[in-house]
Amino acid sequence: MDKKLLEKYCNNTCTAEELNTVIEWFRGSNGISESKTLLLSIWEDLSDEESNPQTDFDFILDKIHHQVNLDNSKKLLEEADQNLIRYKRRKHFLNILTKAAAILLFPVLTYSLYMSFKYQSTLHNQVFVKQAYNEVFSSVDAITKVVLPDSSRVWLNHSSSLKYPAIFDGDFRTVELTGEGYFEVAHNPKIPFIVNAGKIQIKAVGTTFNIMSYPEEDRIETSLIEGCVELQQTQPNGKLITLSRMKPTELAVFHISNNELNTMTINDDRYFSWKDGKLVFNKEPIGDVVKKLSRWFNVDIHIKDPELLDLTYTATFVHETLPQVMELMALVSPVKFSISDRQETSSGTFTKRKIILSYKNN
Q: Does residue 318 belong to any structural domain of this protein?
A: yes
Single residue among 268, 288, 321 that ends a domain in this structure: 268
Q: What is the pLDDT of residues 19-48, one digit of tens each?
A: 677 667 665 555 455 555 665 565 555 544
Long-range contacts from 235-239, C-beta under 8 angstroms, 24+ separation: none
Which residue from 254, 202, 208 is spatially nearest to 227, judged by alpha carbons? 208
CB neighbours of 166 closer than 8 A, spacing ≥ 6?
129, 130, 132, 133, 134, 149
pLDDT at 134: 94
For 327, the enclosing helix (H) or strand (E) is: helix 322-332
Distance CA 123, CA 136 (A): 27
Q: What are phi and psi of 71, to 5 degrees?
A: -65, -40
Per-residue pLDDT, 350: 82
Type and span of the H or E element at 281: strand 279-285
Percent of the chain scoring above 70 in pLDDT:
67
Q: Is 122 a member of any domain?
A: no
Q: Is the dihedral of CA 213, 242, 176, 210 positive or negative?
A: negative
Query: Could you tell me if 223 and 272 are in contact, meaning their C-beta atoms sit under 8 angstroms apart?
Result: yes
Claim to verify: residue 209 and residue 263 sit in the same structural domain: yes
Burial class (CB in 10 A: 0-12, 13-18, 19+), 98: exposed
Is 119 contained in some domain? no
CATH number of the domain residue 328 falls in: 3.55.50.30
21 domain residue, yes or no: yes
pLDDT (tens digit, 9 = 90+) per residue, 105-149? 445 444 555 555 555 555 555 544 456 899 999 998 899 999 999
Enclosing domain of residue 96: 3-110
Contacts of 4 (CB under 8 A, 6+ apart): none
Q: Whole-angstrom Cα distance, residue 310 to residue 246?
A: 31
Do 84 and 211 have their domain in common?
no
pLDDT means per 10 residues, the chain with 362 residues, are 67 71 64 56 52 49 56 55 53 50 48 54 52 90 94 96 94 96 96 96 95 95 96 92 95 95 93 94 94 93 94 92 93 92 82 91 73
Q: Which of 193, 163, 194, 168 is nearest to 178 (CA)?
A: 163
Question: What pLDDT is attached to residue 260?
Answer: 94
Q: What is the mean pLDDT of the chain?
A: 80
**Do 200 and 326 sit in the same domain of this protein?**
no
Is the pTM higher than 0.85? The answer reads no
* Residue partners of 35: CB distance under 8 A and separation at least 6: 26, 29, 61, 64
210 and 293 both lie in a single domain: no
The closest of 259, 239, 166, 244 to 209, measured between CA atoms, is 244
Report d(CA 321, CA 305) in Å as an integer.
Answer: 24
Q: Is residue 121 part of a domain?
A: no
Domain-embedded: residue 350: yes
Whether 302 and 252 share a structural domain:
no
